[in-house]
Amino acid sequence: MFPGSRRCLMAILICVLPFAGPCLAQGGRSDAPPGAGGLSKSEARIRQRCQPPKQPPAGKVLEVFQDCHDTPEMVRLPGGRFLMGQTGAIGLTYELPVHEVEVQPFSIGRYEVTFLQWDVCHAEGFCLRRPDDKSWGRAMRPVINISWVDAQQFVAWLRIRTGQHYRLPSEAEWEYAARAGSATAFHWGESTGSVCKYANVLDVAGRMQRPNWFWSNDCMDGYAHTAPVGSFPANPWGLYDVTGNVWEWVQDCWHSDYTGAPTDGSPWIEGGDCSRRVNRGGGWGNHARTLRSAKRDADMAEGYGDAFGLRVVREDAPGERRASELDAAGQDAGTGGGARVQEPAAR
Ligand SMILES: [Ca+2]
C-alpha cells in the first residue's frame, strides 16, 4: 500500500508513547510547553515569524480563528456527547459497539493541512520530509505522502510557531467533528448518490485513470486526484473535506473494535497495535462506503502514501472557553447540528 514506505524506528520509539508529549524526530530537540518560554534560539526565531493574519478568517457557522498568518484556520467546537460508531445497517464489526462519547470543547482545522503550510514547516527544518506532490500541485492542495510520524513533526512545529497546544485529533474528536451533530452515514445524510456533490472521491474521472481499481462512484466530482482544500461544501459545523480528498491521521493506536474504548474523547493509546495508527475520512480513491463518518482504517505509523494527509486540533486554553462554549449550552451538539452564527474572534 505504501510503495515508498520506509522505516524510522527511532522516531517511532519516540513518538508512539505519549499523546501530547514530546515527539520530535529531529536532533533531539524537546517540546517546549506552550507559553512557558525556554525556547532555543532557533525555536524563538520560529515563534517570532508568527504574524497575525492580514484578514482574520470569518466563520459562517462557528467561530473561526487563525493563530498565525501561515498556520491553519481553526474552528472552535463546543463540547458535547455523540454516538461513536456505525449506527446504520452497513457498519463493519470494527465500528462496533456503538458507544456514547463525551467530548470537551476543542478547536479543529477548518481544512486539511495544505502543502503551503507543510512546506513552511519543512523550510524551517522541523518537518524533515518534503513530500512528493506527484505533479498534482502544491499550494492549497492537501499535503500527501506524509506518515503519522511526519504528522507529529508538523504539530510540534505548530506548538513552537504559535505557543499553543496543537496535536492530532483523537479518533473520537475526529468523528465528533466530522458528524457535526449527524447520526447518519454521511454528514449530509444517507445518500451515496450525493457523494460527488459533497466530496472528492473516486469518481468517473478517477476511474478512467485507474480502470482496475475496484471501488468507484458513478458520478463526477471534477477531480481525478486531490482537490484544493475547501472545493466542496462544508459540513454543518463549517469543516471542509472531512469526507474524501485525503485520509486524515489521528492519534489513536489501532484496535479491532470499540470494546473498552474511552468515553471521554481522549485518544485510545492503551493496548491495541500502536505500530499502526488510525486514519479517517476516506480519500480521493475510495468508494462511498469507505467515506462514511464511522469508517475506520489504520496503517503503519511510518507509512505514507498519496492519499494520506492530516487535520490538526488545538486545545483551548481554559480562559478561551468562552462564548462558543457558553452559547452551545443551549443546544445539544450531539444531536442538533449546532448551527449558529457568531462573529469570529479578533486576532
Ligand atoms: Ca475525484
**CATH number (domain holding residue 251):** 3.90.1580.10
Report how far ligand 1's centroid is from the alpha carbon of 231 (Å): 11
Chain position carrying cell 465500528: 95
Ligand 1 centroid – CA 52 distance (Å): 34
Cα-to-centroid distance, 251 and ligand 1 (Å): 27
* CA 82/CA 183 separation, integer angstroms: 8
Long-range contacts of 253-258 (CB under 8 A, 24+ apart): 253/16, 253/277, 253/278, 254/278, 254/298, 255/94, 256/93, 256/94, 257/93, 257/94, 257/95, 257/96, 257/97, 258/84, 258/85, 258/94, 258/95, 258/96, 258/97, 258/98, 258/99
Contacts of 301 (CB under 8 A, 6+ apart): 12, 15, 16, 147, 148, 149, 274, 275, 276, 277
Number of domains in the chain: 1
Q: Is it the case that residue 302 has pLDDT exceeding 60?
A: yes
- SS3 label, residue 140: coil
Compute, in angstroms, the gap from residue 226 CA to the centroid of ligand 1: 7
d(CA 89, CA 198): 22
Q: State the amino acid at position 130 in one-letter form.
A: R
Judge contact between 66 and 58, C-beta under 8 A. no
Tell which residue, 279, 47, 56, 73, has the closest CA to residue 157. Answer: 47
Question: How many CA atoms lie within 13 Å of 184's alpha carbon, on the beta-carbon side?
Answer: 13
The CA 192 to ligand 1 mean position distance, Å, reads 14
Distance 283 CA to ligand 1 centre (A): 9
319: pLDDT confidence band, cut at 50, 70 and 90?
A: low
How remote is the CA of residue 219 from the centroid of ligand 1, in Å?
9
CA of 220 to the centre of ligand 1 (A): 7
Q: How far is the CA of 224 from the centre of ligand 1 (A)?
A: 5
135: left (phi over 0), alpha (psi -120 to 50) or beta: left
How many angstroms does the Cα of residue 308 sit away from the middle of ligand 1?
15
Residue 114 domain flag: yes
CA of 193 to the centre of ligand 1 (A): 14
Structure confidence at residue 205 (pLDDT): 86
Helix, strand, or coil (residue 238): coil
In a domain, 342, yes or no: no
40: in domain: no
Q: How confident is the model at residue 213 (pLDDT cuts 50, 70, 90)?
A: confident
Measured CA to CA, the distance from residue 312 to residue 310 in angstroms comes to 7
What confidence tier does 89 reach under pLDDT thresholds 50, 70, 90? low
Q: What is the mean pLDDT of the chain?
A: 83
- Name the residue with higher pLDDT: 328 or 268: 268
Domain that holds residue 101: 4-18+57-332
Tell me how far the alpha carbon of residue 218 lies from the centroid of ligand 1, in angstroms: 11
With respect to residue 203, please indicate whether it lies within any of the assigned structural domains: yes
What is the reported pLDDT for 26?
A: 34
Exposure on the CB side of residue 177, measured as CA atoms within 13 A: 36
CA of 76 to the centre of ligand 1 (A): 29
For the ranges 64-78, 213-227, 228-242, 257-271, which has the lowest average pLDDT?
213-227
Tell how far the Cα of 202 is from the centroid of ligand 1, in angstroms. 5
The DSSP secondary structure of 269-291, one letter per residue, reads: -SSSEEEEEEEES--TT--GGGG
Cβ burial, residue 257 (10 Å; 0-12/13-18/19+): middle
Domain-embedded: residue 23? no
Ligand 1 centroid to residue 347 C-alpha, Å:
35
Looking at residues 221-233, what average pLDDT do you find? 96
% of residues, the chain, pLDDT over 70: 78
Q: 132: CA distance to ligand 1 center in Å?
A: 19
pLDDT greater than 70 at residue 154: yes
> Measured in angstroms, how far is the CA atom of residue 14 from the centroid of ligand 1?
36
Using the Cα atoms of residue 248, residue 249, residue 250 and residue 255 in order, give the sign of their dihedral. Answer: positive
CA dist 278 and 213 (Å) reads: 23
Asked if residue 308 is part of any domain, the answer here is yes
Using the mean position of ligand 1's atoms as its centre, give its distance from the Cα of residue 243 in Å.
12
What percent of the chain is modeled with pLDDT above 90? Answer: 71
Residue 2 has pLDDT above 50, yes or no: no
Q: How far is the CA of 209 from the centre of ligand 1 (A)?
A: 11
Nearest to 248 by CA among 108, 135, 98, 137: 108
Residue whose C-alpha is closest to residue 338's, from 59, 58, 62: 62
The CB density around residue 109, as the number of other CB atoms within 10 Å, is 27
Provide the residues around ligand 1 (an ion) whose CB is within 5 A. Answer: 200, 203, 206, 221, 223
Q: How far is the CA of 205 from the centre of ligand 1 (A)?
A: 7
Give the pLDDT mean for 169-173.
98
Distance from residue 42's CA to the centre of ligand 1 (Å): 41
Q: What is the pTM of this model?
A: 0.83
- Looking at per-residue pLDDT, the higher value among 87 and 152 belongs to 152
Q: What is the mean pLDDT of residues 220-243?
A: 97
Least trusted range by pLDDT, from 3-17, 66-80, 294-308, 316-330: 3-17
Alpha-carbon span 138 to 143, nearest angstrom? 7
The total of other beta-carbon atoms located within 10 Å of residue 345's CB is 17
1 C-alpha to ligand 1 centroid (Å): 19
**Residue 339: inside a domain, yes or no?**
no
